Amino acid sequence: MLLLDTHAVLWLDSGERMTSEALQAIDAAAQEGAVLVSPVSAWEVGLLVGKGRISLDIDALAWFERFLALPGVRLTPLTAAAAITSSALPEPFHGDPADRLLVASARELACPIVTRDRKILEYAERGAVRAIAC
C-alpha cells in the first residue's frame, strides 16, 4: 500500500519521468489494489486548474474520476484522525495544509508517500514518515 502525493498523481497520469523505485513500488501496489489517492489531491488539482497553473484535457472532476478508475488505484478517505493529527505532526515540518494532511494520512495508514517534494523527503529522512522519491 502507498499514498500518492498530488504531483505524483499528475505525473503518473501525464507520463512524466519518475524514478524506477517509485514506478516499481506503484506497479507492485497496483497489483494489490493498493495505490491510494487522497481527497486532498482532488482539492489540490481543483485549485491548480482554477488558478490556471495546470490544464487538463477534461474538467478536473472528470479527470480525477478517470484517474481513480485506473487499475489498482483507489480513493482513501481523509479521516478526522488524520485531519486532527495533521495539526500536531512531530516538528519541525512546514505549514502547507495539503502536505500536512497527506503526511498525516500516510502516517495513519502506515504506508509510504510517493513524492518529489523536498520538504516531505527531508521529513522522511528524520523518520517522521516513510517516503519514496519519485
Write the CA distances from 80 to 2, 74, 87, 101, 121, integer angstroms.
Answer: 20, 19, 11, 10, 24
Closest CA to 101 of 17, 10, 39: 39
* Residue-wise pLDDT tens digits, 86-132: 999 998 999 999 999 999 999 999 999 999 999 999 999 999 999 99
* Residue-wise pLDDT tens digits, 4-13: 999 999 999 9
Determine the structural domain holding residue 64 and report its residue range. 2-133
Tally of structural domains, the chain: 1
Q: What is the CATH number of the domain that holds 27?
A: 3.40.50.1010
Summarize the confidence of residues 24-47 as an average pLDDT.
Answer: 98
pTM (predicted TM-score): 0.96
